[in-house]
Chain A
């Protein structure tokens, strides 16, 4: 009796050890990522409505990886990018993340560009212990879950939405000195709703009045009736958080209806397409908040602009810069971690302090929100002109 109990206990424990060992081996296998190369997954919007962000960031990634590989890689290992197109769709983004973590077994994922698609990837990153860095997912929900807990494996290169809304509110009150404003936001996007909420809060806190609050839905083409309604409320300033496809049409139709007040938006406006859609003339007297300006006089930003121009023959936009910075942010973390183990990279990313990047000095707070500076640009005849730089 006793003997058999012992025997079964022994058997059970040895089995358990065996399973654990198996697991360990599996983990080892999944995180070894080859001998002389580091696989990094790229999950980006390379087609679909916001393809312009994804392909811009891809250019930034490629330039940075090329430079790092030419300089000998990370700790002697070359970087290999595994790229998947998520077609600007949240469900596709989740499947891309599953493919990258389970099939390709990448050390980390960079991308997607938008908050919605990044949120769709967070769960996979946490479950598979693969750190992810979104270059421009500015919604706080990417790194902080709805219940307030931090998504351990999610990071971002850009600043967050509330910060952009705050910057817009400060700029409107202090620089433009307006007292009344209207908000016209995209009701189908978490990004636009987040920006609108923080703008309204800070603008009212600074003594301003919101005279009209309206919404549209992505893919709308006719904004004239709502704009006529906004015009009737006579605001001195209109804040339009949203993406360039609709914003371009909104700006054009607003100017046609005789709305001449300053319009302002955030990084969602940043695409050359907006100038085609709205027309250079209509875009005069509009302001955008951005991560980066090619005209920034800072030395590192200028050096990047030159290198980018050499490779692609055009001056970089902020998505190019954020893509480029994302790779360097990850490189810095992998070097400090001294390993491609997901958990170690995550800990290193969390400890990033005053890293000198193209888009400014970069630190991370306890919610994985970067602490960094923002740039304000003004459209003058279809060109973005550096206006001022706002520190956190």
Chain B
């Protein structure tokens, strides 16, 4: 009974990691950039959701959609301003820029509204029901279903639409895609938009589920999501989902065994082990770099 509860705890945590990890992995897949500002887009999404609910009195779903749209725009703006001109630069230059953008967003938000945390309003009733002795709250069910719906939607976009096809083509070979008449700039923007929208959704879900949000909240979930993306095989979309869920469940199991202080360490130990033994991740194929 306790274990069913722990599994639910783990899956809820993991689905948030998975949503953030998707953005990491999509951006990496297409321009080979680890977008460290992604965790901060998640934070901005959380705050947009918070203000939509408290200031404009909207419900959960309108707030979720507003936050996703705003984050999509935000992601595209970041890409156009900071990363586009570095596309032919070295990868390390782009990576350092990403860290700079991350700090700029974090401290920009602190500058605008201060560093104090904010509490998400309770928009769902606190009612819980029990299945096999595990307590499940209505909000965790809703959060889980929203995450699943978003992931299915993403799969649909990637595999069944023209944009998705273009994204896959660009991630496979930029030059060839260009020759086939694909607008690479727009495709990259679309990738940033979709990835950032998912981070925005994760931000709102995080706020509802964990209540407390603050301007530096994106740092640790961002790093964990990065671990999840690497675990699943960076650049591979189903890998990010599985990686996120596995990481969430592993962290929960570590706490459940009474090693709660080792939880964060466990996540990073996984990262180290993966990088040593299987750098391409669970779903990755071993490919050789072309010379």
Chain A contact residues, CB within 8 Å of chain B: 47-49, 51-52, 187, 214-217, 219, 221-222, 224-226, 228-229, 231-232, 245, 248-249, 252, 255-258, 273, 276-277, 279, 281-282
The residue from A225, A232, A248 contacting B211, defined by CB atoms under 8 A apart: A248
Check if A215 sits within 8 Å of B260, measured CB to CB. Answer: yes
Instruction: Please give the distance in Å from B9's CB to the nearest CB on chain A.
Output: 4
Check if A248 sits within 8 Å of B114, measured CB to CB. Answer: no
Closest B residue to A88 using CB positions = B115
**B261 located at the interface, meaning its Cβ lies under 8 Å from any Cβ of chain A in the complex:** yes
The residue from A221, A229, A281, A282 contacting B2, defined by CB atoms under 8 A apart: A229
Within 8 Å CB of A281, what residues of B? 126
Known A47-B114, A222-B9; 5 more pairs at CB < 8 Å = A215-B261, A225-B255, A226-B255, A277-B212, A282-B126
**B286 located at the interface, meaning its Cβ lies under 8 Å from any Cβ of chain A in the complex:** no
Stretch of B21-29, B116-124, B236-244 lying at the A interface: B116-124
Report how far A47 CA is from B107 CA in the complex, Å.
14
Check if B135 sits within 8 Å of A187, measured CB to CB. Answer: no
Closest A residue to B220 using CB positions = A219
- Specify which of B128, B135, B252 lies most central, judged by the most chain A CB atoms within 10 Å of its CB: B135
Check if A255 sits within 8 Å of B9, measured CB to CB. Answer: no
Closest B residue to A221 using CB positions = B210
Check if A217 sits within 8 Å of B256, measured CB to CB. Answer: no
Check if A256 sits within 8 Å of B135, measured CB to CB. Answer: yes
Within 8 Å CB of A225, what residues of B? 6, 9-10, 251-253, 255-256, 260
Closest A residue to B256 using CB positions = A225
Interface string of B243-265 (1 = CB under 8 A from A): 00000000111011010110010
Within 8 Å CB of B6, what residues of A? 225, 228
Check if A256 sits within 8 Å of B252, measured CB to CB. Answer: no
Check if B128 sits within 8 Å of A258, measured CB to CB. Answer: yes
Check if A187 sits within 8 Å of B261, measured CB to CB. Answer: yes
**B34 located at the interface, meaning its Cβ lies under 8 Å from any Cβ of chain A in the complex:** no
Closest A residue to B264 using CB positions = A217
Check if A245 sits within 8 Å of B117, measured CB to CB. Answer: yes
Check if A51 sits within 8 Å of B116, measured CB to CB. Answer: yes
The residue from A249, A252, A258, A276 contacting B135, defined by CB atoms under 8 A apart: A258
Instruction: Please give the distance in Å from B235's CB to the nearest CB on chain A.
Output: 28
Report how far A252 CA is from B130 CA in the complex, Å.
17
Check if B117 sits within 8 Å of A229, measured CB to CB. Answer: no
Within 8 Å CB of A258, what residues of B? 128, 130, 135
Check if A257 sits within 8 Å of B211, measured CB to CB. Answer: no
Check if A249 sits within 8 Å of B130, measured CB to CB. Answer: no
Within 8 Å CB of A215, what residues of B? 260-261
Within 8 Å CB of B253, what residues of A? 225
On chain B, the number of residues with a Cβ less than 8 Å from chain A's Cβ atoms is 32
Within 8 Å CB of B145, what residues of A? none
**Would you give 27 A-B contacts (Cβ < 8 Å), ordered by A?**
A47-B115, A51-B115, A52-B116, A187-B261, A215-B261, A219-B220, A221-B210, A221-B212, A222-B13, A225-B251, A225-B256, A225-B260, A226-B260, A228-B5, A228-B256, A229-B256, A231-B2, A245-B117, A248-B212, A249-B210, A252-B211, A257-B5, A257-B135, A273-B119, A276-B119, A279-B126, A281-B126
Check if A222 sits within 8 Å of B256, measured CB to CB. Answer: no
**B137 located at the interface, meaning its Cβ lies under 8 Å from any Cβ of chain A in the complex:** yes
Report how far A219 CA is from B210 CA in the complex, Å.
12
Check if B258 sits within 8 Å of A229, measured CB to CB. Answer: yes
Given A222-B210, A256-B126, A258-B135, the answer on whether A248 and B5 have CB atoms closer than 8 Å is no
Given A214-B258, A225-B9, A225-B252, the answer on whether A248 and B119 have CB atoms closer than 8 Å is yes
Check if B211 sits within 8 Å of A277, measured CB to CB. Answer: yes
Within 8 Å CB of A279, what residues of B? 122, 126
Within 8 Å CB of A222, what residues of B? 9, 13, 210, 251
Within 8 Å CB of B217, what residues of A? 221
Instruction: Please give the distance in Å from B221's CB to the nearest CB on chain A.
Output: 9
Closest B residue to A233 using CB positions = B2
Closest A residue to B257 using CB positions = A229
Check if B126 sits within 8 Å of A255, measured CB to CB. Answer: yes
- Specify which of B128, B211, B217 lies most central, judged by the most chain A CB atoms within 10 Å of its CB: B211
Closest B residue to A188 using CB positions = B261
Instruction: Please give the distance in Å from B163's CB to the nearest CB on chain A.
Output: 34
Report how far A282 CA is from B130 CA in the complex, Å.
18
Instruction: Please give the distance in Å from A55's CB to the nearest CB on chain B.
Output: 10
Report how far A52 CA is from B214 CA in the complex, Å.
15
Closest B residue to A275 using CB positions = B119
Within 8 Å CB of A214, what residues of B? 258, 260
Within 8 Å CB of B116, what residues of A? 47, 51-52
- Specify which of A49, A224, A229 lies most central, judged by the most chain B CB atoms within 10 Å of its CB: A224
Check if A229 sits within 8 Å of B255, measured CB to CB. Answer: yes
Report how far A229 CA is from B217 CA in the complex, Å.
26
Instruction: Please give the distance in Å from B263's CB to the nearest CB on chain A.
Output: 8
Within 8 Å CB of B137, what residues of A? 256
Closest 7 CB pairs of A and B: A276-B119, A225-B255, A224-B9, A225-B252, A258-B135, A221-B210, A232-B2
Closest B residue to A259 using CB positions = B135
Report how far A277 CA is from B6 CA in the complex, Å.
23
Report how far A224 CA is from B6 CA in the complex, Å.
8
Within 8 Å CB of B5, what residues of A? 228, 257
